[in-house]
A = this chain, B = another copy of it.
Amino acid sequence: MAERLITEADLDDLAVGAAILGTGGGGDPHIGRLLAHSAVRTGGPARLVPLEEVPDDAVTVMVAMMGAPTVMLEKVPSAEQVATAVRALARYLGRKPTHLVCAEAGGVNALVPVVAAARLGLPMIDADAMGRAFPELQMVIPTLYGLTATPMSIADEKGNQGIFDTVDNHWAERLARSATIDMGCSAMISLFAMDGPKAREALVPGTLSLCAELGRLVREARAAHRDPVATVVGRLGGVELFAGKVVDVARRTEGGFARGEAAIAGVGGHAGEDFLLRFQNEHLVAVREGVVVASVPDLICVLDAETGTAVTTETLRYGQRVRVIAAPCDPRWHSPEGVKLVGPRYFGYDHDPVRVPAGAHRRTPDSGRAAAEARP
């Protein structure tokens, strides 16, 4: 794979696809698009470098928004704030970053590196640190490799900045979360400086390309009057868990997170069944008729029943017609260390992970589309 450019024309697909992999979190794609369009129009397209081509002597830094997605809807960050976070980390490191890294797939967090790239004139890596979105900053594959999140920077829109250098990534999360809450429940962070070999080992390759591809597939399916949800299920090697109408949403902004539950009443083949989603920024556990049918670390994605676009946890509302799908995560999340870091028990649920049924495999773009098109 070769380096390519992310232009304004790519941003909508990228945001739509990232919101799907964002499993309800990672920010609203509308906000992500607004930010990125403006930055790319001013700063030019962002260069997207394949992970395997990152040189050994690279200084890669992750850049992301931290906070409650519910708040991001009202307090849109600026491109300058994104750049400030990266510059603050660079200053503290005493080294100039060479590549920007996406922390997680998500409507905002897949676009934040694009903004930074356009603003700072740096390439971004076609990868992310999760292959999905998770609510806490230590919840990244690099943590499984013993890599440290800090030194990390944090910046708000008022001009306040901070640096944390902590004994482990849980402490980085704790201190940065408190600062984020003080800063108004959303802040920009830059963290996990890595060299090329570490980045190549510890990141999830191809995530941004996959986001853009998912967005394109959804768009094309809609244009061709095919079922976009089935297209997504096929591409991700997932399963459709439920279809229904949102009948209840209990949501609270707590500890700097958007936490809550949503109840869905079945329609069609699921008529008469009930379904419950539990979330903390991201969908964590899916319960159908009282039985857990999917959970972290696998992906639980809520899609608009007709358009296939992702419904984020902060935009879930009464009356929405949705379809809930599950898809396999990066296999490293199913290691014992991965399950300890992001499995259901970490979030307070007293059960092991419930995985996407065997036989559901992520397919190549062609086979995925074929499968989707074969669906009635």
A163 on the B face (CB < 8 A): yes
Instruction: Tell me how far the C-beta of A91 lies from the nearest C-beta in chain B, rounded to whole angstroms.
Output: 9
A159 on the B face (CB < 8 A): yes
User: Which of B161, B166, B178, B181 meets A161, CB within 8 Å?
Assistant: B166
Q: Which residues of B contact A161 (CB under 8 A)?
A: 164-166
Q: Which residues of B contact A167 (CB under 8 A)?
A: 158-160
Q: Which residues of B contact A164 (CB under 8 A)?
A: 160-163
A92 on the B face (CB < 8 A): yes
Number of chain A residues whose Cβ lies closer than 8 Å to a Cβ of chain B: 20
Give A170-185 as 1s and 0s: 1 = Cβ < 8 Å from B's Cβ atoms.
0100110011011100
Q: Which residues of B contact A92 (CB under 8 A)?
A: 92, 163
User: Which of B160, B163, B179 meets A178, CB within 8 Å?
Assistant: B179
Q: Which residue of B lies closest to A153 (CB)?
A: B163
Q: Which residues of B contact A163 (CB under 8 A)?
A: 92, 162-164
Give A125-160 as 1s and 0s: 1 = Cβ < 8 Å from B's Cβ atoms.
000000000000000000000000000000000111
Identical chains in the assembly: 2
Instruction: Tell me how far the C-beta of A249 lies from the nearest C-beta in chain B, rounded to whole angstroms.
Output: 30
Compute how far the CA of A127 lies from the CA of B252 in the bound complex, rounded to whole angstroms. Answer: 49
Compute how far the CA of A161 lies from the CA of B175 in the bound complex, rounded to whole angstroms. Answer: 10
Compute how far the CA of A165 lies from the CA of B158 in the bound complex, rounded to whole angstroms. Answer: 11
Residue from A161, A162, A167 with most neighbouring chain B CB atoms (10 Å): A162
Compute how far the CA of A183 lies from the CA of B160 in the bound complex, rounded to whole angstroms. Answer: 20
Q: Do A175 and B179 touch (CB < 8 A)?
A: yes
Q: Which residue of B lies closest to A158 (CB)?
A: B167
Instruction: Tell me how far the C-beta of A110 lies from the nearest C-beta in chain B, rounded to whole angstroms.
Output: 28
A37-92 with Cβ < 8 A to chain B: 88, 92
Compute how far the CA of A162 lies from the CA of B182 in the bound complex, rounded to whole angstroms. Answer: 15
Compute how far the CA of A92 lies from the CA of B161 in the bound complex, rounded to whole angstroms. Answer: 13
Instruction: Tell me how far the C-beta of A87 lies from the nearest C-beta in chain B, rounded to whole angstroms.
Output: 12
Compute how far the CA of A161 lies from the CA of B161 in the bound complex, rounded to whole angstroms. Answer: 14
Compute how far the CA of A161 lies from the CA of B171 in the bound complex, rounded to whole angstroms. Answer: 10
Q: Which residues of B contact A162 (CB under 8 A)?
A: 162-165, 175
User: Which of B158, B160, B165, B175 meets A182, CB within 8 Å?
Assistant: B175
Q: Which residue of B lies closest to A88 (CB)?
A: B165
A84-103 with Cβ < 8 A to chain B: 88, 92
Q: Which residue of B lies closest to A166 (CB)?
A: B160
Compute how far the CA of A159 lies from the CA of B158 in the bound complex, rounded to whole angstroms. Answer: 29
Compute how far the CA of A182 lies from the CA of B178 in the bound complex, rounded to whole angstroms. Answer: 8
Q: Which residues of B contact A175 (CB under 8 A)?
A: 160, 162, 179, 182-183
Instruction: Tell me how far the C-beta of A83 lies from the nearest C-beta in chain B, rounded to whole angstroms.
Output: 15
Q: Which residues of B contact A165 (CB under 8 A)?
A: 88, 160-162
Compute how far the CA of A167 lies from the CA of B161 in the bound complex, rounded to whole angstroms. Answer: 9
Compute how far the CA of A179 lies from the CA of B154 in the bound complex, rounded to whole angstroms. Answer: 13
Instruction: Tell me how far the C-beta of A234 lies from the nearest C-beta in chain B, rounded to whole angstroms.
Output: 45
What are 7 A-B residue pairs whose CB atoms fall within 8 Å in the complex? A158-B171, A160-B166, A160-B175, A162-B164, A162-B165, A162-B175, A163-B164
Residues on A lying within 8 angstroms of B by beta carbon are 88, 92, 158-167, 171, 174-175, 178-179, 181-183
The 10 closest A-B pairs by CB, nearest first: A163-B163, A178-B178, A159-B167, A161-B165, A160-B166, A162-B164, A160-B171, A178-B182, A174-B182, A158-B167
Contacts A160-B164, A162-B162 known; 17 new A-B pairs at CB < 8 A: A88-B165, A92-B163, A158-B171, A159-B167, A160-B166, A160-B167, A160-B171, A161-B164, A161-B165, A161-B166, A162-B175, A163-B164, A174-B182, A175-B179, A175-B183, A178-B181, A178-B182
